[in-house]
Structure 1
């Protein structure tokens, strides 16, 4: 079951037995209410001038809208498993019919090879039972990194265990050679920020500067979240 609920100034996208997937501030659908979406935006800001992005998992589209609004993107593709989700997002959740955005429905694990390489790739594949199989699939996660353009960044919304480490921590450390960053958030997730290759590093000071310059347009600061960034544990 997929449904949209309205509570005062917000609309919520839910899957299954009242499992909240997305929250939209109806006055501004690009507003990121959850810390995990703000943390994923921080991952996007690691790239100085991204022109293309690929979203694996669309949901209500708030992160997609924020990236389209605040980043210099020219070409954005989203792959969503459930055909009803993009329709509901456009009809009830404020997702714009932006000419830069191309949405396909289907399984991201199957469609990834047919997606265009991108400067930014976001993995957020959740069902009403938790993270999709892609979040622990070595070949899929490896292919996501390979699909990045040189200098690109892969941003993964990963569940965290009771120890605060991301789901599949050992797999991730081996796959990405411990060369990535983690950003834990209040919702209990850990956002992984993975560069395209081992020669690429995260420039923390430039990231802070880009976030600070964007703050007046965002309407909130990202600095407290950036302070939580840590090397792969």
Structure 2
């Protein structure tokens, strides 16, 4: 009899180690003092933002605040393979500002606009060493859906990295919102989304993005988690060649462009996938090749801390 495949959710249902239980209890005590609001936790050289004790939002090294600690954020910056010199970056979801700080420091010709709905998150920006608003950076407290219905941007890059205490924000992952994002991009712009969920839900999301972006969509899984990073290109797909990838790697030594380029997935532009049903089936099959149990994904806080180092 064939052994049943282990589901992703079962990976997190193992008995919690005593140290992990103690860590969560400590976080719960901190949360009580913040009355349910987002809070931070310092552990040696690490400063971490939590939306709740089981939802880590951001991580920063105190001695290297601009470093991208989490691999998913480094994968997001794979956007440079498609748009190496963005002039305006529109980011939905501030969190601890890891992506903001990296772009502000390493893309000096870029202007950055951030839309963040949670005032408590914005209030923590000094704790996470974000630069103050200036001619290059502006953080706006707003509901992104409402804001983008009233205000129009002409962004080169739109980064969708929005989570709340319940996880992925459903209102920001609909066909209607993707159409709004598409309208706020330049003709050669790119939207990058950091998402997670069951393969069936992710397949639906990819299908909606493929419809909105004329099927110019690529995706890859983060090396250290089950986050899916999606690159949706408006206009003609223009992916970096081998020489451009090498140049990007020299400019951004902390990012693994070559590995990412090898791991990018997509569906060919074919009439075979003109049927939504056939497209969804093909997308589920594609996701099944990467959304599998992975020993490299940390199972608890101690494993994660060991992996990111201090």
Superposition pairs for residues 32-51 of structure 1, below 5 Å? 32-51=68-87
Counterpart among 139, 159, 174 of residue 196 in structure 2 = 159
Q: Which residue of 2 aligns with 1:146?
A: 183
- Is 1:71 the counterpart of 2:115? The answer is no
- 1:206: Cα distance to partner? 5.3
Secondary structure in 2 aligned to 1:69?
Answer: helix
**Counterpart-to-counterpart distance in 1, 2:265 and 2:49:** 31
Deviations 1:109-152 (A, max 9, x none): 11123142111110011111111023421111121122111221
- 1:68: Cα distance to partner? 1.2
Q: Which residue of 2 aligns with 1:182?
A: 219
Change (3 A) 1:204 1:58: farther
Whichever structure has more strand as a proportion of its residues is: 1
Q: Is the 8 A contact 1:181 1:194 kept in 2?
A: yes
Change (3 A) 1:10 1:164: farther
Structure 2 residue runs of 5 or longer lacking an equivalent are 1-36, 268-282, 284-310
**Counterpart-to-counterpart distance in 2, 1:20 and 1:57:** 14
Q: Which residue of 2 aligns with 1:169?
A: 206
**Counterpart-to-counterpart distance in 1, 2:107 and 2:162:** 23
Q: Is the 8 A contact 1:158 1:167 kept in 2?
A: no
Q: Which residue of 1 aligns with 2:140?
A: 104
Secondary structure in 2 aligned to 1:168?
Answer: helix
Q: Which residue of 1 aligns with 2:14?
A: none
TM-score by length of 2: 0.68
Q: Which residue of 1 aligns with 2:161?
A: 124
- C-alpha RMSD of matched pairs (Å): 2.2
Counterpart among 227, 234, 249 of residue 196 in structure 1 = 234
Whichever structure has more helix as a proportion of its residues is: 2
**Counterpart-to-counterpart distance in 2, 1:176 and 1:191:** 16
Change (3 A) 1:81 1:44: farther
Change (3 A) 1:164 1:183: farther
TM-score by length of 1: 0.88
- 1:25: Cα distance to partner? 1.1
- 1:47: Cα distance to partner? 0.9
Deviations 1:193-226 (A, max 9, x none): 11122x333234355134312234x4x5443233
**Counterpart-to-counterpart distance in 1, 2:152 and 2:42:** 34
**Counterpart-to-counterpart distance in 1, 2:118 and 2:202:** 29
Secondary structure in 2 aligned to 1:200?
Answer: coil
**Counterpart-to-counterpart distance in 1, 2:244 and 2:104:** 18
Instruction: Return the index of the structure with the highest Cα Rg.
Output: 2
Q: Which residue of 2 aligns with 1:55?
A: 91
Q: Is the 8 A contact 1:39 1:225 kept in 2?
A: yes
Secondary structure in 1 aligned to 2:49?
Answer: strand
Q: Is the 8 A contact 1:211 1:223 kept in 2?
A: no
Secondary structure in 1 aligned to 2:171?
Answer: helix
Please say which of residues 203-212 and 149-158 is displaced more in the overlay: 203-212
